[in-house]
Structure 1
């Protein structure tokens, strides 16, 4: 394999989300396989930047062939840097790597201008992009949710998008789409970890057949001592793994917990929250009452520990209120043999089909009913486990990735 640069909008050693974790796992696997590979992530949280960067420092090396850029601010509407000097700095780092393949996991914090210029300056290189969400389609952080609340958006249009952004007019969105379609055309290969996301992009305007659907790879579970817990105990244990962002729906889970705690038949179930502290939750949802004795916050966890932590629970709850594409949490749950209860939309619905359980998105009562139905239900847990399939391994993912990237005809200039 020739030289590869994997570029992510964030660095998982500083801020851990699904896209950057998938990108970094790909980098780590290729490193172990003795491939010529580099990783470039971005730090964009002001507190993190202040803690780890010197005042004028742009690039930080976190490990061998592992770099972190200092984010300097971008226009989220155009995906362009505010200052030419900042775009120049990102481009200079990427050019210095002299990669034959540049694989972008997202382009936020990298910049559309960087990608266009990289294509022009390195026409012989292959440019690849994994579409982890809908930033190109939706100016509302790529989440396809109306800006006035949690109403889900099914498709973009100039008039509908202008309604979400009163300071913009319909023509702005016509031009934005043209720019984003042109940006998509810069890549030789586009990947999507779910068929759901690929269909959305094709309906939006990406030509059919341009997007290759491959699930993100995950490393196999290491040799660990598995403690056998009785099914009756496991089935009463529920857990959430994620961040305290409004779209992850943790407030939906908490409201479901409130309803369960008030139920005369709460079945002594417990709900553990990983990735969020009690204080972090209360900062975002100060008016929510946390039910006693049923809900426990454990704060931040390491991505490497996720699967072993999940194996302690019968059910993993994914209550997201936006169109999740291919949550890493679902892959980790499959590896842990812990079935999933998820919102009934998007890639979540696709990924748990045949073995997971679904509830009405954004509805805590629907979630509460489902959790009570499954708590203490040994038969339901056994059946779900039997139907679960193993996630795609990193080794298989990288083999498929290599075959597609190097055998797909290069983009015509």
Structure 2
């Protein structure tokens, strides 16, 4: 099968889990003998506004270009606030993206196109694909179809789409739904959130959990007992929606002297978070680390903590943690509870609640070590092979 993947970002340009997931899909499809191409963006510093930069990555052909936007997708976190309203207007339907993507698809002529995040590319990519009568599958990674705030978070709290977003949703549906053959969502929560607003309600849809390349979990047995020393970790962007401050406050409030929290990643709130934890010896900040070091960190931890404030879809960090034999303490919000069986594969706590998270830490310290071994066994179905089996089945049904 000749498959084209379209994603607003693609490694090595990474902001969140969606790009890592798209890359994992591409790798597995290539490993199974499919011809795979990728259309994605690059930063505006590249200057490739009217042509594609072609490269090979893991057996796939990657085409990168710079859309004519107020800023590139990789710059979204750091860009000046005044540029964002301009980008919202440009991103309604970008004719420059439409023309370039349409031309490239004519050249590569895939059997099917799978579109991931398209913020910065605009819904015009869907029309570009269907102009060649190529089937389109779309994976939902956020809430772009529901709100201009694609994460349904206003910087401080959840921002559910109200009546004011109905015109936006209507325009989005008109621009996207006629071109869709199938919609995939990693979580049932996200799918139902869209359906509750009438979005994608007439398009075939299903939940397909994400997957990750399997790694050995032998290192689990080398961890110290959690009753002797409780090792926790957080990995991700340092933004308010991630709830890292809640985790730091819960650790500070905890009476567990044998607890230690390792925080990985960076972001706009890094300095504020470091100040919050400055006099707490049980917390260490590591900044960005390479993937090998991050995988080692998962393997050395008793629990990964996901303290999200927002409607998190299906966090890649949970899959990565499970893959290294590490259960998860997660906020009971969005798609997170779909991945955690409380008391078996991890612990759930009330979102945005320091006391509830502190209680979860106390529970984590009291769990018997052999229960962690059981939790590891419960998570083996979240592998990239199972995920791609389902994705290929969808492709074949559409092409049949």
Fold match by TM threshold 0.5: yes
Match of 1:168 in 2: none
Structure 2 gaps, min length 5: 71-86
- 1:157 pairs, out of 144, 147, 162, with 162
Tell whether the 8 Å contact from 2:6 to 2:38 is kept in structure 1 after alignment: yes
The answer for the alignment partner of 1:96 in structure 2 is: 107
CA distance in 2, matches of 1:203, 1:358: 25
Q: Deviations over 1:148-167 (max 9, x none)?
A: 731453xx332xxx3xxxxx
Change (3 A) 1:117 1:241: same
- How far apart are 1:269 and its partner, in Å? 0.7
**Number of residue pairs aligned between Structure 1 and Structure 2:** 375
Matched-pair contact (CA < 8 Å) for 2:230–2:302: yes
Change in Cα spacing, 1:150 to 1:290, as seen in structure 2 (3 Å) is: farther
- Does 2:80 align with 1:69? no
**Shift of residue 21, structure 1, vs aligned partner:** 0.8
1:127-166 alignment runs, 5 A limit: 127-140=136-149, 142-145=150-153, 147=154, 149-151=156-158, 153=160, 156-158=161-163, 162=164
Secondary structure of the residue that 2:309 maps to in structure 1?
coil
For residues 179-190 of structure 1, what are the structure 2 equivalents within 5 Å? 179-182=171-174, 183-190=176-183
1:368 aligns with 2:358: yes
Partner of residue 249 from structure 1, selected from 233, 243, 246: 243
Please tell me whether the aligned partners of residues 79 and 112 of structure 1 are also in contact (alpha carbons under 8 angstroms): yes
Secondary structure of the 1:76 match is: helix
Separation (CA, whole Å) in 2 of partners of 1:67 and 1:133: 24
User: How does the TM-score come out when normalised to structure 1?
Assistant: 0.82
Q: Which residue of 2 aligns with 1:167?
A: none
Distance 1:57 1:240, change over 3 A: farther
- Label 1:68 to 1:283 Cα distance change in 2 as closer, same or farther (>3 A): farther
Tell me how far apart the structure 2 counterparts of residues 283 and 81 of structure 1 sit (CA, whole Å). Answer: 37
Report deviation, 1:281.
Answer: 4.2
Gaps of 5+ in 1: 163-172
Deviation, structure 1 residue 239: 0.2
Deviations 1:329-379 (A, max 9, x none): 11112111211111111101121034321122112232223213322x242
CA contact (8 A) 1:307 1:335 kept: no
Q: How does 1:110-259 map to 2 (within 5 A)?
A: 110-119=121-130, 121-123=131-133, 125-140=134-149, 142-145=150-153, 147=154, 149-151=156-158, 153=160, 156-158=161-163, 162=164, 173-182=165-174, 183-205=176-198, 206-207=200-201, 210-222=204-216, 228-232=222-226, 236-259=230-253
1:214: how far off? 0.7
Structure 1 distance, partners of 2:166, 2:114, is 28
Q: What is the correspondence of 1:301-312 to structure 2 with a 5 Å cutoff?
A: 301-303=289-291, 306-312=294-300
Say if 2:91 is the partner of 1:79.
Answer: yes
